[in-house]
Amino acid sequence: MDRAIFEDLDVVIVGGGICGLATALALHRKGMKSIVMERSEALRATGGGIGIPANGWRALDELGVASKLRLNAILLEKVRDIFLNGSKRQEELTSFSNIGEVRCVKRSDLIEALAQDLPLGTIRFGCQILSVKLDTNSCFTILHLNNGNTIRAKVLIGCDGANSVVGDFLELKPKKLHSSCAVRGFTYFPNGHGFAHELVRARRDNTLFGMAPVTDNLACWFVVHQWHLQDSKVFKDQEIIKQMTLESIKGFPSEKIQLVKNCDISTLTLTHLRYRAPWDILLGQFRRGTVTVAGDSMHVMAPFVGQGGSSGIEDAVVLARCMTRKSIQANNDPKEFKGQKLIEEAMDEYVKERRMRLVKLSTQAYLIGSLLDTSSSLLKLIFFVLLGAFFRDQFGHARYNCGHL
């Protein structure tokens, strides 16, 4: 039997998803070493497409991976909103020209691009964190792993998603559920699809359909609908997911239905939409000792503003900048980031800089999600009024710049 190992590490990142890898890469670009603990046995290079608006591309440029991703992602020129009401159809067209770069990429391409630029050995696979505790002797944190090993971390960054063990350590308020679920998938066109370079969003009652080309031969799409699912096995049965999706979009334009009919069934995913309430982000304590969170662990939100992934990449840039800036101010080599108080100050700066940005994003996503959730005409009117009052520029969030690394 292998003996359990006790190890001291400077910076530990829990979770090897988009935000975890982006955080590790941001720190690496600034000369700081980190270790990413990923519970799966390989990169989680699965899932559907992910929309990246202009702010996300600015952050990816700072990380040095944007150029390779652009090679396999069409530049979208506009968004076409279609409102279906019985036999009536209304369209609105909005140009992206004054917003900036918007593209949809394969999530696997993004994950792999981030991982490829990390030093060998940065990611440790098959490492599931069972618990996080405070070391009363050093004031750093003790991580207990599923393999029996123990790690003491000077800096701990939770990027382990909505069900974050690090978030539990910080005693964050539990996430909430929308009444809607989302299906995402890809459809391949060997001879080309011929779609316009635009994001299309079609709404009918409480169902939302979205589609965008990724390349000339690939399109990604999603459907948001109020499925009331009793059997958890449905989430893993892709044939049932496809049939449920087709049933939910009856009455939509035929080309949308064909997109789902012809999809690559192996790419289908079904998720229940979750969010951290805007008021919990406003009031949440996102730092305890030398522990903080980023990405979905901090601000999981439904995909209605398309900022879930990009906001996590912004987190990575800002956190790395704050940590190295504090280190340089103290005349230390960034590779030797020492001092608990210094780390805490850096994390407090990071949380302060990110908080109001995330409150605004989560509020906009929450209002749009609530609009889809409710069947009450009065509540719909209230949500419309609030969106019009606070988010008249519906794509204003894409103009944000998180700054240089």
Q: Where are the domains of the chain?
A: 6-49+107-177+276-399
Note the pLDDT of residue 231.
Answer: 75
Beta-strand pair 150-158/6-14? parallel
DSSP tag of 215: E
Query: Which amino acid makes up residue 393?
Result: D
What is the model's pTM? Answer: 0.94
Residue 158 has phi, psi (to 5 degrees) of -85, 115
Number of Cβ within 10 Å of residue 97's Cβ equals 8
Q: To 5 degrees, how large is the angle CA 52–CA 56–CA 62?
A: 140
Whole-angstrom distance, CA of residue 112 vs CA of residue 50: 14
| CATH architecture designation of domain 6-49+107-177+276-399 | 3-Layer(bba) Sandwich (3.50)
Going from the C-alpha of 19 to that of each of 41, 166, 312, 369, the distances in angstroms are 18, 14, 5, 23
Q: Helix or strand or coil: residue 312?
A: helix
Reported as half-sphere exposure (CB side, CA atoms, 13 A), residue 66 has a value of 19
Note the pLDDT of residue 236.
Answer: 86
pLDDT in tens, 361-383: 999 999 999 988 888 889 989 99
Nearest of 368, 13, 314 to residue 206 by alpha carbon = 368
H or E stretch covering 225:
strand 218-225
DSSP tag of 75: B
Give 142's strand partners.
Answer: 133, 152
Q: What is the DSSP string of 126-178?
A: T--EEEEEE-TTTSSEEEEETTS-EEEEEEEEE---TT-HHHHHTTPPPPEEE
Distance, C-alpha 15 to centroid of its chain: 12
Note the pLDDT of residue 78.
Answer: 96
Whole-angstrom distance, CA of residue 304 vs CA of residue 367: 9
Residue 144 has phi, psi (to 5 degrees) of -105, 125
Note the pLDDT of residue 1.
Answer: 43
Residue ranges of the chain whose pLDDT lies below 70: 1-3, 45, 47, 328-338
Note the pLDDT of residue 117.
Answer: 95
Average pLDDT value over all residues in the chain: 92
